[in-house]
Amino acid sequence: MAELTDADEESGRAALGRALRFLRERAGKSLGQLAEETRYDKSYLSRLENTKRLSKLPVMEDLDRYYGTDGLLADLWRSARREVFKDKYKEFMRLENLARIMWMYQLAVPGLLQTEEYAREVLSTAQTANRNTEWVEEQVAARMSRQELLHRTPSPQVRVILDEVALRRQTTDPKVWTDQLSHLVEISEFRSVTLQVLPFSAGLHGLMGSHLWLLWQPDGSSVAYVEGNGFGELVDDLDKVADYRLSYDRVRDLALSPSGSLAFIRGVLEEHRS
């Protein structure tokens, strides 16, 4: 299907929209017929073809089954959704996707551990000129798709040190917060995930004020990614990565054990419910 893959000069989103239109027209279907047979709204399908909306992955999987395209649309969608993120994050995302080991220190619930509704509320508060419902939904879909890596076989080994501040800043909707805390409890039971809490009582430490990722690639190489308010820096200098590794180890020494952290999160959940 050269018509669908010769897209060197177009964006991933444009390639996806063109593929959707090509497949529909090849099947001899109008938008109305497609809507009736797939149960998706006609205007929604039109917006997908016109690249005015980036759907969620399950929609593309449904359409792949409908057209019998063996994952083509899902693959195009994965390429298109990477464009939702700013250029400075693309290399980090590529490395995150390939990582065999991932360590994080986070001041907020990280995207990999967020529920959809929690992510939606967080992203709705973003201060950007482009913020609107469409923008938020695209960001939510992209964030949820990143969580696929937790369900791979084999999945990466992930360790998250979550600052207590992340567990004290509630959402405006109590149910969203309850579901998010419950999700943290559930995901801490994944064999590939180790979750620790750094309590306020741990005091001052070397990673205050920024988020940190340490990623190990299949070839054994490692990088650090540091993110703060309005900036993100990918670090591959071996000495600097080693310094961040040392800072992380010291914070891990201050954090609660995985079992103690789980008890702490459950305690916060019970406080919230009461």
pLDDT digits (tens, 9 = 90+) for 195-253: 999 999 999 999 988 999 999 999 999 999 998 876 788 898 889 999 999 999 999 99
CA 90 to CA 84: how far, in whole Å? 10
10 has pLDDT over 90: no
Centre a 10 Å sphere on the Cβ of residue 198 and count the other Cβ atoms it contains: 24
Predicted TM-score (pTM) of this structure: 0.70
Half-sphere exposure (CA, 13 Å, Cβ side) for 109?
Answer: 29
pLDDT digits (tens, 9 = 90+) for 112-137: 999 999 999 999 887 555 567 888 88
Q: Domain extents for the chain?
A: 2-82, 89-273
Domain 89-273 has CATH 3.40.50: no
Query: Which CATH superfamily groups domain 2-82?
Result: lambda repressor-like DNA-binding domains (1.10.260.40)
* Residue from 21, 13, 1, 187 nearest 104 by CA: 187
45 has pLDDT over 80: yes
